[in-house]
Each structure stands twice: as structure tokens, then as C-alpha cells.
Amino acid sequence: MTTQLALTRAQKAAAILVAMGKPSASRLLKFFKQEELKALIEAARLLRTIPQADLERIVAEFEAEFTEGAGLLDSADNMDALLSESMSPEEVDAIMRGKRPELPAGPPPIWPELEALDPARLGAFIAGEHPQTSAMILSNLASQATAKVLLTLDKGLRSEILKRMVTLGDVPEKATAMVENQLRSRVLSDKSTKDTTAGQARVADVLNEMDKSQLDETMRDLEEAGTPDLAGVRARIFNFEDILLLAQKARVLVFDGLSTEVVTLALRGAPADLTEAVLSSIGARARRMIESELAQAAQGIPPADIVQARKTVVAATIRLSREGLFDLPAAQAAGEAKEADAA
């Protein structure tokens, strides 16, 4: 009769981890607490040879399934190999000395902050830099943010930067750090250039709640009062009647996500050209249903319901534009005017 090995719980756990193999065990090690890892390391160093029968007993005891093996040898060396693949030497050393590993100090990445800036603000900075530096900066931004910044630049500079982005290789860490420091000090920390995009968005949200006559009157008042950054506010404004100004592709995206009930209500009393623009953007079956409903009298339908349905359409349009799927008509017109001036 074979005598069973007397193993501690830590030694059994170490044996099972070694039996699992490096890929699986390395993933599990990250879930252990510091004191548990220390116990595992010390336990593994006391293990030598574990017969197959004892290994099977340990596996059964833990009620789990593991790959078959012919017994384990040199558990300490195997555990060291597992730790070296899942942790740095400093982390292992810190665990054995009872200290938590220290994370490397350093400033946080700046690229998400740059992507959140007004494209014109970042474009103004890039326009004064060497095209190679500009290419490096834009290559680190999300493609959507990069496109918006490029559209604020002159055509010649835009082409030069894109050409350099195509051939841009790996940038040395020191050079990247120097550019990041310049961006922090001259763009992100520039108090003299106040970012007003949040305020513009808040005012635009308020104005978008008004009907067209109220909106037009308020905008005239703001212009007469000399309100700064009004162009940024105007670019974020969208009224139900502006559906006519949307591209067909944008209208399809808007009305594809709205119910026929909302669309029908919103079109009650709408001008014929606007109604046709909406109906041409939806499927044939939905169009027939809406036309059938609109042909019936609107008696008994509260005007407030029609207003609310139109606000739902407006809100959906603004949301999709903020997701970058298309530009609102005012923003698109401003961009085209800027390109015409640059040309």
C-alpha cells in the first residue's frame, strides 16, 4: 500500500497550478491576493516529486478537471516560471518582501483630452507646427477626431500632413514625450484660450427646445447683444423644419430608428415638401401606413402630442450627429464656407 503524501493546502494549490500549465495558471495568478501568492511561492519551493496517484487525489479533492499528467517534478522551478510570465521580477520580489508593487509614476495620456477639444482649437495649434510634428500628433488621435481637425486646415497643409502620416514610422519615446509636454503646456493648459464648446452645447440644447419662430427671435436677440461664439451655438442648432436641409442618407438614418407612430404624429400639419422628404426616407410599407393615417382627420389629437413627436425627431437627429454619423446642416454649411475661404 502506497503512503499518501501529507501536503498543506498551499502545497496542493501550488501543485494544481503547475499541473494546469503556464497559460491557464498565469491568468489565475492575477486573482490571488498578495499574501496568498507569497504562501503559494513558499509552498512550491518545498515540493519535489508528486506521484500521479497523489496528484489525482488532489485534483478530485478540489472538484475540478485538469489535464492528465505523469506526475510533477521540480514544482519550485515550474512555479517560478509561471510567476515570471505573469509578473515582473519587481512584483515577485515585492510580494516575497511583503510590499505591494509600486506602479510606475508618470502623467496620464493626453490623447483622449485632445480628442475632446474643439477641432478648430487643436487645428490652430497644429497649423503653427512643422507638418511632421502635426502628422505625429494626428496619428495618435481617433480617426474621427483627426478628420475633424484636418477639415479646419488649409487644403495645402492638410495634404502635406496626410502625406507625412502615410509614411510615418515609429516615433522615439523621447520625441513623443517632448511633443506631449508641448501639448500640455500650450493647448491643454492654455488659460488664455478658453474652451467654450460646453457652454455652446448647453445654450444650443435650450434653443432646440423652442419652435422655429421663438428660435429665430432669440437668435436675433443674441446677435444684437453681441454674444460671443454664436457661430458655435448656431452650428449645434436643429429645428424640425431643418429636415429638408439634411442629406438623404442622414434622413434615412434618423427615421430608421423612429416608430411609425412618432413619424405620423410629427408630420401632422407639416408642409407638403417636408412630408415628402420624410416619406422618401423610409420603407415602402411604412410609407403606405403613414400616408393612410395622415389621410384621416386629425381631430382629437392634442397639439402637444404633435409638438412632442417633433421634438423626438429633433432629439434623435442631434444625437446621431453628436455620434459623428453626419453633420447638422448649420455645421455643414459653416465647414463648406471655411473650405471655400481657404481655397
Question: Cα torsion for 16, 18, 24, 27, to the nearest 10°?
Answer: 100
Query: Which pLDDT score, from 0 to 100, does residue 69 have?
Result: 40
**Separation in Å, CA 238 to CA 90, 173, 222, 283, 324:** 57, 44, 17, 24, 15
Question: What's the CA gap between 215 and 203, in Å, rounded?
Answer: 12
Handedness of CA 329, 321, 339, 125 (dihedral sign): positive
Question: Where do the domains of the chain lie?
Answer: 9-96, 111-188, 238-342
Helices and strands (H, E) in the chain, number of each type? 21, 0
Query: Which pLDDT score, from 0 to 100, does residue 224 have?
Result: 86
Q: What is the pLDDT of residues 225-282, one digit of tens each?
A: 887 778 778 888 888 999 999 999 999 999 998 999 999 999 999 999 999 999 999 9
Tell me the three cell numbers of residue 205: 440644447
Contacts for 261 with CB less than 8 Å, ≥ 6 apart: none
Q: Do domains 111-188 and 238-342 have the same CATH topology?
A: yes
Least confident stretch, 17-21, 126-130, 162-166: 17-21
For residue 88, what pLDDT band results from cuts at 50, 70 and 90? low
pLDDT at 72 over 70: no
For residue 122, what pLDDT band results from cuts at 50, 70 and 90? confident
Query: Which pLDDT score, from 0 to 100, does residue 284 have?
Result: 92
Q: Left, alpha or beta for 190 (phi > 0: left; psi -120 to 50: alpha)?
A: beta
Contacts for 186 with CB less than 8 Å, ≥ 6 apart: 125
Task: Find, among 305, 243, 242, 239, the residue nearest to 268 by Cα.
Answer: 305
Query: Which pLDDT score, from 0 to 100, does residue 63 have?
Result: 47
Task: Find, among 308, 305, 331, 301, the residue nearest to 318 by Cα.
Answer: 331
What's the whole-number mean pLDDT along residues 309-318?
92
Residue burial 246-267, b: 16+ Cβ < 10 Å; e: rest: beeebbebbbeebebebbbbbb
Q: Which fold has domain 238-342?
A: Annexin V; domain 1 (1.10.220)
Q: What is the pLDDT of residues 16-26, one digit of tens each?
A: 676 666 666 66
What's the whole-number mean pLDDT along residues 297-323?
89
Of 284 and 89, the one with more pLDDT: 284
Provide the terminal-to-terminal Cα distance of the chain, rounded to the nearest Å. Answer: 94
Position 233, amino acid: V
Query: Which pLDDT score, from 0 to 100, does residue 84 have?
Result: 60
Least confident stretch, 33-42, 59-68, 87-96, 126-135: 59-68
Domain 111-188 top-level CATH class: mainly alpha
Of 186 and 87, the one with more pLDDT: 186
What's the whole-number mean pLDDT along residues 40-50?
67
Question: What's the CA gap between 229 and 333, in Å, rounded?
Answer: 16
Contact 41, 83 (CB under 8 A): yes
Of 333 and 176, the one with more pLDDT: 176
Least confident stretch, 30-39, 92-101, 228-237, 243-252: 92-101
CATH of domain 9-96: 1.10.220
Question: What's the CA gap between 244 and 248, in Å, rounded?
Answer: 9
Mean pLDDT, the chain, whole residue set: 77
Of 99 and 290, the one with more pLDDT: 290
For residue 71, what pLDDT band results from cuts at 50, 70 and 90? very low
